[in-house]
Structure 1
Amino acid sequence: MVKKILRGLFTLIGLIAGYLIGAAILKGRYFSQINYINTNTVYKVLFLVFCVLFFGIIFFIISPWINSLIIKLMDYIENNIQKVPGTEILFGTVGGIIGLIISSLVLSVFSRISVIWSIISIVVNIITAIIFADIAVKKREELMTFFYGLKKAGSSKEKKSKTVSRGTPKVLDTSVIIDGRIFDICQTGFVEGTLVIPNFVLRELRHIADSSDALKRNRGRRGLDILNKIQKELNIKVEMYEKDFPEIEEVDIKLLKLAQVLNGMVITNDYNLNKVAEFQGVPVLNINELANAIKPVVLPGEEMVIQIVKDGKESGQGIAYLDDGTMIVVEGGKKHIGETLEVIVTSVLQTAAGRMIFAKRKE
């Protein structure tokens, strides 16, 4: 629809340009010297019609290329504006308007002198607007503090139901919503910033909740329950992001694109998404990495009391688990399954899946 409107507009511009050019040519010296054409109205009209049609057809033909350039320019401007924080756009616009007003007031007297002064005033207006916009963007923190102080003084009795957070936006992945631990982490207050729940993630959760497979259906419903708890019980700002990226099919790639647009982070426990995000330079908070990081540190030589629950992969090995799920491999523990033993830690192995502890029975 936009392409058709632009093509019609450029064709109209071509028709008008043809008429103006034809009229200017008829008033020129060359045609004024030809008495036959100059006195014959029919030839003048035919010449004007020829110019109008000629330039109209030319603009009609080249309009698709002009349309593509305009659309590319609009996409480029839109993508770059989306990456700029809203405060910078706001303060830059206000600063530019103030600069234009000041420069227009100063140069309004001189602009009437001559055409050259008019051109100079336009240039000065543009430069002044850019300078004031840059100053407003660089001083936005001080201006925000000033206006926030005025607002706080005027409405000191007003209470906010949600905590206003100025941290980096956190985009939630489908897997981390179903996992549910994000609710407990946010409840502790360690996560700052707005929690962003994209609409395409919500659609994926609904699709999982409507699955014919019982396990998938339960996972999807659990994710929807977690979302309701996050919105109702957490003292943190939660936003639903309605915009989609129809040119991208995969939800994971949409998440990374959204994080780039919002200049935020992705919260996930998906190992593959974590690696793709690292490759694309998108910051990621991995719940599994956080869980591994807060597990108690165990050093070789430490003693602990554990219960052997099953045999290991290697011959004679027994397996035990700590309260946080850390697996302990005990040499010679197979024959003590079901017993509680005192063991000594021999080594600790940190893997992408978690932490493994190797131990032997204390003599």
Structure 2
Amino acid sequence: MTISEKKAVPVNRNRLLSIDFWVRILGMVVLGYVGWYFSSSSASNPATEDEILAMQLLTLSGAGLGLLITHRVTLYPIRDINQRLRRSTAQEMLALGLGTLLGVVIGALLAIPLSHLPGLLGSYLPAIASFFTIYFSIVAFEYHKKNLVNFGISLQTSKARPVKEAVPMRRTCLVDTSAIIDGRVLAVVRSGFLDGILVVPRFVLNELQLLADSSDDMKRMRGRRGLDMLEEIRKDDQLRLEMPNEDVANARGVDQKLVTLALQDGHALITNDKNLSQVAELQGVQVLNLNVLSDAVRPPVGAGEMLVVKVREEGREREQGIGYLEDGTMVVVEDARERIGDEVRVIVSRVWTNDRGRMVFGRIMGSAGAFYGGKNDASNYPARS
């Protein structure tokens, strides 16, 4: 089952209703008894008619209050905690456990001197101090949970290997929506050129889901492709994928959240978005652009080299033909309009490069000016990367 094809989990509504019902009944009985107890304890003996009426009203009020709010103050918090625990990652659970343990230890140490204070301070201050130490310890461990896990990994590595053979820790890489949809990141990681942990935050997944549910056919196709690619990455045993639920406060838009999260946690950023790459690099984020990588690994083509190209279509200028190399680079061949459909040997006269890719100009081998070329207007042709 892919992420884009999630099925709703059936819920036993009768069971939930029965739990709510019995909890309400129990709350009604307990609060009704509490109302009766306090009203009867303050009444005279024997009770007057007004006191009896007050007892009845307090009992009914307590019972009604218990019927209305008991499930909200008992079942709802329990269900919320259960859902949070199910969505929590191993890092978050580790931070919660260590933070609670440290808070309990510090609170117990503080409770000893605080309990000797006179009066109410000695009675209540130890409990209050313990509560705040536990709370702030959990917050501190939660904020530094990634550093905590990385520290544990480095300790384990140093114990397992001698110092000279210690391997560097794998870096974590945030993956942008455009890189997921592109799909090449999967092949790059499998090839071993990118060794790291891929991190896809929840807000990136939400953006993919919005694209997959879009009314526009093109956006819907791109969103579904991205979700399928993400599912393929998740199923690959050779890759490590993390999908944290954390969001970025005070950040608008997915791009700004990615840059902020990369700066905050020290991630690299994998993207194909040129604007996002420039903004991230200006702020000091390491950017891994797949288009730049693709241009870097292309075989070099220089003036004077011979290529074998199949002429596929007419060019925009007179007597020109258009062909393509295996990597998609456009080749403009002079005097090749009559050779459409044929494979020809071309001598490269010039290579034109811009930020979107490269274009090669040449003449058919053996024709006049094959080594020097003529005047070619490169701006008439869109770059194909």
Shorter-normalised TM range: 0.5 to 0.7
Asked whether the equivalents of residues 307 and 320 of structure 1 are also in contact (C-alpha less than 8 Å), the reply is: no
Q: Which amino acid letter does the alignment assign opposite residue 44 of structure 2?
A: S
Asked whether the equivalents of residues 309 and 318 of structure 1 are also in contact (C-alpha less than 8 Å), the reply is: no
Q: Quote the residue 1:209 is aligned against.
A: none
Q: 1:357 aligns with which of 353, 359, 368?
A: 359
Matches within 5 A, 1:239-254: none
Q: Give the distance between the partners of 2:292 and 2:88, measured in 1 at CA.
A: 33
Q: 2:192 aligns with which of 188, 194, 206?
A: 188
* Identity value in percent: 17
Question: For the structure 1 residues 163 and 227, does the alpha-carbon distance in structure 2 shift closer, same or farther, using more than 3 Å as the test?
Answer: farther
Asked whether the equivalents of residues 315 and 322 of structure 2 are also in contact (C-alpha less than 8 Å), the reply is: no
Q: 1:128 aligns with which of 121, 130, 133?
A: 133
Q: Give the distance between the partners of 1:229 and 1:70, measured in 2 at CA.
A: 34
Q: 2:321 aligns with which of 315, 318, 323?
A: 318
TM-score (normalised: structure 2): 0.51
TM-score (normalised: structure 1): 0.54
Q: Quote the residue 1:213 is aligned against.
A: none
Q: Which amino acid letter does the alignment assign opposite residue 337 of structure 2?
A: K
- CA displacement, residues 238-279 of structure 1 (integer Å, 9 cap, x when unaligned): 4699x9xxxxxxxxxxxxxxxx9xx9999899x9xx9xxx9x
Asked whether the equivalents of residues 169 and 195 of structure 1 are also in contact (C-alpha less than 8 Å), the reply is: yes
Q: Give the distance between the partners of 1:117 and 1:327, measured in 2 at CA.
A: 82
SS in 2 for 1:18: helix
Asked whether the equivalents of residues 15 and 56 of structure 1 are also in contact (C-alpha less than 8 Å), the reply is: yes
1:36, distance to aligned residue in structure 2 (A): 4.8
CA RMSD of aligned residues (A): 5.7
- Worse overlay, 11-20 or 340-349: 340-349
Tell me whether 1:32 sits opposite 2:32 in the alignment.
no
Q: Give the distance between the partners of 2:336 and 2:111, measured in 1 at CA.
A: 87
Matches within 5 A, 1:206-355: 230-231=236-237, 234=238, 237-238=239-240, 290-292=293-295, 294-295=297-298, 302-310=303-311, 311-312=313-314, 314=316, 316-335=319-338, 337-345=342-350, 347-348=352-353, 351=356, 355=357
Q: Which amino acid letter does the alignment assign opposite residue 321 of structure 2?
A: G
- CA displacement, residues 66-88 of structure 1 (integer Å, 9 cap, x when unaligned): 68975896599669956975554
- Worse overlay, 63-72 or 17-26: 63-72
Q: Which amino acid letter does the alignment assign opposite residue 32 of structure 1?
A: S
Asked whether the equivalents of residues 16 and 52 of structure 1 are also in contact (C-alpha less than 8 Å), the reply is: no
Q: Give the distance between the partners of 1:265 and 1:12, measured in 2 at CA.
A: 54
Q: Give the distance between the partners of 1:20 and 1:189, measured in 2 at CA.
A: 69
Question: For the structure 1 residues 168 and 347, does the alpha-carbon distance in structure 2 shift closer, same or farther, using more than 3 Å as the test?
Answer: closer
Matches within 5 A, 1:45-194: 51-62=58-69, 70=77, 85=92, 88-110=95-117, 113-133=118-138, 151=156, 165=170, 167-168=172-173, 182-183=186-187, 185-193=189-197
Question: For the structure 1 residues 4 and 290, does the alpha-carbon distance in structure 2 shift closer, same or farther, using more than 3 Å as the test?
Answer: farther
Asked whether the equivalents of residues 10 and 59 of structure 1 are also in contact (C-alpha less than 8 Å), the reply is: yes
Aligned pair count reads: 287
SS in 2 for 1:345: strand
Q: What stretches of structure 1 of length at least 5 have no aligned partner?
A: 201-222, 244-259
Q: Give the distance between the partners of 2:90 and 2:153, measured in 1 at CA.
A: 24
Q: What stretches of structure 2 of length at least 5 have no aligned partner?
A: 1-14, 206-228, 246-260, 281-285, 364-371, 374-385
Question: For the structure 1 residues 37 and 75, does the alpha-carbon distance in structure 2 shift closer, same or farther, using more than 3 Å as the test?
Answer: same
